[in-house]
Structure 1
């Protein structure tokens, strides 16, 4: 049996190939693997591709690259479900550890989501995002063309990086505050005030990022919120020790001065924050999701592919919409 670590890498390579509308070469796969937290060079990628070819999961097209076979698609649907239950939270925790943004010095890396839209839709997408920025994390974004050396962008697409709310977990940890990502969910908002979570998924009980699941379901109503003050948005909840609430509040104030916001609620001792359960001795912090600005784009019928909690990026290189 193949080593479990190799199996994980094989599955991730198959995902990358499956997500492309054309054959993909080893260099592009290696670049995208780095975006997803794997440090694999082209030579190592070619080794893994040979294994996939031998199993009949991928097909080689000369020097153009590989495509996934029907057998590979079936394998991708069923592969490593139990293993992936831990993989989502493990990957998030790795990015949390690598976050080093300093709100006082206003420099460092933040976690970002990466979304892709057609080039022809970019201007309209940017306009819609500007209107929904109050329900996101930051007005700053990274924009990448298909020849970018920083992230992989499919042909005919534009990549858009938005600050991910899990960045807060990394900054809290960096300042000595133990933090645990708990839930992602759909939050009901009435008269521009957060009311209650309508649905929750635990980060430790899913093989797919909870925010991505709700995006795929098209569960939001950010448009309604912008028009009437009432609707639903994506949000997540994390927990910290009650004794750390004062320090956490100060950090959120400092982050606000860096155009990093999105704090919706902080529980002190009720055991419940906007309907999400909080363990005894802990406080819950609810923050809007960084991809809400992309959710409204989807609500307008524009095709968007989003990878929440994708990679880390220097916040200083991101520009205001």
Structure 2
């Protein structure tokens, strides 16, 4: 059986082809997938198209592109019956499982966000991101830059843009799981900061109840005031919450402290058993762990009037190949 993540991409590719009245090529499909939130390159699209051809869902017309077959139309109709709610949490859980970074050896993969910025704006955006990193607003000071001709990690970069990979806060969930601690991502939210200290969540969205990443929703709303928070100590920043069994709290604290030494930071605290943590509800017998997200740096870029498109919780990347930004 094909990986569920691959199946979702196959459905989206069929949808794109079905929406066109003429054959569609891999490059155009890759462009549209990017617009729809999938960080997938032209080479990977061709791989997925071969699968669709083999299943009889698409038909190749030489170098012109593909059209969808009647069999493909039926398959697409059946696939779209299921609701997209829960899509984000299932993707997050997949990436959590794929996180294998070893805090002792410094080897393995972490989860990253991918942000696309116009080449002409990148230098100014980079200055703001460095400033945000110096203020402790990100998970790590390490990042990777991809030009439009890059083929690494199959990161697709549209013409005229630069892609920036930054460490995602969901990496903490992967590290907890790798340490043998069951973990469940709960909410993405907007954290009120007073006197440079977290005060409490003023808005929360459950990862289980949305088909769009909550952090991306807050970015679209332009709900943050990250730069103001840096300057005055008061404002709103992005954060998320996960819960673990209360009995695992001491072990989790050890892991979080070790992660900090490895330049993976951002956790605020470990809550009390069954108690709200910064106004975020937590299940009985569990404790909540809120973390400031690495995308706060991107929010600061957008607040400065620079256009950026971010795909949170995008993919995994080898941490030791990322560089000090």
TM-score by length of 1: 0.82
* SS of alignment partner, residue 209 of structure 2: coil
C-alpha spacing 1:7/1:273, structure 2 compared with 1 (3 Å): closer
Which whole-Å CA distance do the structure 1 matches of 2:264 and 2:171 have between them?
10
Displacement of 1:45 in angstroms is: 1.4
1:175 aligns with 2:179: yes
1:218 aligns with 2:253: no
> Which of 39-48 and 212-221 deviates more?
39-48
Displacement of 1:44 in angstroms is: 3.7
| Corresponding residue number in structure 2 for 1:294 | 298
1:11 aligns with 2:15: no
1:127 aligns with 2:148: no
C-alpha spacing 1:139/1:220, structure 2 compared with 1 (3 Å): same
Displacement of 1:190 in angstroms is: 0.5
Displacement of 1:15 in angstroms is: 7.1
* SS of alignment partner, residue 182 of structure 2: coil
C-alpha spacing 1:128/1:13, structure 2 compared with 1 (3 Å): farther
C-alpha spacing 1:54/1:43, structure 2 compared with 1 (3 Å): closer
> Which of 149-158 and 8-17 deviates more?
8-17
Which whole-Å CA distance do the structure 2 matches of 1:107 and 1:124 have between them?
32
Q: Is the 8 A contact 1:145 1:157 kept in 2?
A: yes
Displacement of 1:265 in angstroms is: 2.3
C-alpha spacing 1:120/1:247, structure 2 compared with 1 (3 Å): same
| Corresponding residue number in structure 2 for 1:273 | 277
Q: Is the 8 A contact 1:178 1:240 kept in 2?
A: yes
C-alpha spacing 1:248/1:12, structure 2 compared with 1 (3 Å): farther
Displacement of 1:88 in angstroms is: 1.1
| Corresponding residue number in structure 2 for 1:185 | 189
Displacement of 1:132 in angstroms is: 0.9
* SS of alignment partner, residue 186 of structure 2: strand
C-alpha spacing 1:231/1:11, structure 2 compared with 1 (3 Å): same
Q: Is the 8 A contact 1:238 1:284 kept in 2?
A: yes
| Corresponding residue number in structure 2 for 1:254 | 258
Q: Is the 8 A contact 2:207 2:213 kept in 1?
A: yes
Q: Is the 8 A contact 2:274 2:283 kept in 1?
A: no
Aligned residue among 227, 232, 239 for 1:235 = 239
Which whole-Å CA distance do the structure 2 matches of 1:99 and 1:194 have between them?
28
Displacement of 1:136 in angstroms is: 1.1
Q: Is the 8 A contact 1:102 1:108 kept in 2?
A: yes
Which whole-Å CA distance do the structure 1 matches of 2:301 and 2:40 have between them?
24
| Corresponding residue number in structure 1 for 2:71 | none
TM-score by length of 2: 0.81
Displacement of 1:269 in angstroms is: 2.6
TM-align CA RMSD: 3.6
Q: Is the 8 A contact 1:10 1:48 kept in 2?
A: no
| Corresponding residue number in structure 2 for 1:98 | 98
Counterparts of residues 20-39 of structure 1 (less than 5 Å): 25=26, 29=30, 35=39
Displacement of 1:49 in angstroms is: 8.4
Deviations 1:69-97 (A, max 9, x none): xxxxxxx9xx9485321221111100000
Q: Is the 8 A contact 1:17 1:66 kept in 2?
A: no
Q: Give the aligned length.
A: 299
Which whole-Å CA distance do the structure 2 matches of 1:119 and 1:48 have between them?
35
Deviations 1:123-169 (A, max 9, x none): 11110001111111001011000011121100000000010000000
Q: Is the 8 A contact 2:166 2:294 kept in 1?
A: yes
| Corresponding residue number in structure 2 for 1:72 | none
Which whole-Å CA distance do the structure 1 matches of 2:111 and 2:296 have between them?
15
Deviations 1:79-126 (A, max 9, x none): 948532122111110000000011111221000000000001111111
